[in-house]
Amino acid sequence: MAQALSTRYPLVMVPGMLGFVRLLLYPYWFGIPAALRRGGAQVFVVQVSPVNSNEVRGEQLLRIIERIRRETGADKVNLIGHSQGALTARYAAAKYPQWIASVTSVAGPNRGSELADYYVRRYPADSACGRLLALALRVLAGGIWLLETGQRGPLLPIDVEASHRSLTSEGAALFNRQYPQGVPTTWGGRGAEEVNGVRYYSWSGIVQDKRSDSGGNRFDGSHFFCRLNVRGFFRERECDGMVGRLSSHLGQVIGDDYPLDHLDIVNQSLGLVGKGADPVRLFTEHAARLKAAGL
């Protein structure tokens, strides 16, 4: 498998809200970049503002892409975004499609998250609880910067309200009107697989599958947190604990019912996932898919 995953263009991994490259020794994409590199892929794991709007994060990503293109000599890159990272990648592709070969959304809230709607409704920004939540997120973002060892740099701008707004159903609807590439025109459908020369893909998971409660997830506290979040979903009971199954659709839907919660899908919690689940394989198979497509 030495060159089985050697895509034509570099792979750029974009994290979601409260994302990072590596906190001390703990990577965001646990075991995934290493598996891709073993297959011959050129992989860049990047950092953007952990809490901010899709547009601000997207502009940061464009500057990173420009640097990667300059350093590697590649004309384009393949963007793989987890959670809000998917919307960040979509923004970059909409603005500079000539730089992007493909956008892959992994559990991306492409039509917003009912969980974000729930928090905005339950804890308005001008309420005491809302201000406390905003403070907690700012502290977490600062902590991420302090503990980041994978990509050091200045503290990136933080905007809690803009981040929340971007992730709500209403905010996503506005974003989609401006940047509709790859978004299904019908609820639960599939979007255009290629727009302006950029290929669009997506996959996501659900926690309601009993397999997701087995295996390593018995010892994974984040999994129980995701299961608890399901009570905040009313339109889509099938969700990964943070993003609804149908809301995640973008372009070619590779799968939307993997037994993986929102963090399992990028192999977090040291790879503790449900029995039979293999999130790393989803990424290596996708790199092979991109290579076969000439990307």
Catalytic residue among 117, 240, 256, 261: 240
Assess contact for 212 and 277: CB atoms under 8 A.
Answer: yes
Catalytic residue among 262, 264, 269, 286: 262
Instruction: Look up residue 273 and give its amino acid.
Output: V
Catalytic residue among 49, 53, 82, 83: 83
Q: From CA 75, how far away is CA 107, in angstroms rounded?
A: 27
Q: Hey, which residues does 200 pair with through a beta bridge?
A: 103
Q: From CA 266, how far away is CA 30, in angstroms rounded?
A: 7
Is 286 catalytic? The answer is no
If you write DSSP's letter for every residue of 153-207 in order, what string do you get?
Answer: -SPPP--HHHHHHHHSHHHHHHHHHH--TT--SSTT----SEETTEEEEEEEE-S
N- to C-terminal Cα separation, the chain = 18
Is 240 catalytic? The answer is yes
Is 113 catalytic? The answer is no
Please report, for residues 78, 188, 213, 293, the alpha-carbon distance to residue 7 in angstroms, rounded to integers and kept in the order given: 9, 30, 34, 9
Smallest CA-to-CA distance from 53 within 151, 156, 153 is with 156
Task: Annotate 8-37 with three-state secondary structure.
Answer: CCCEEEECCCCCCCEECCEECCCCHHHHHH
Catalytic (active-site) positions: 83, 240, 262
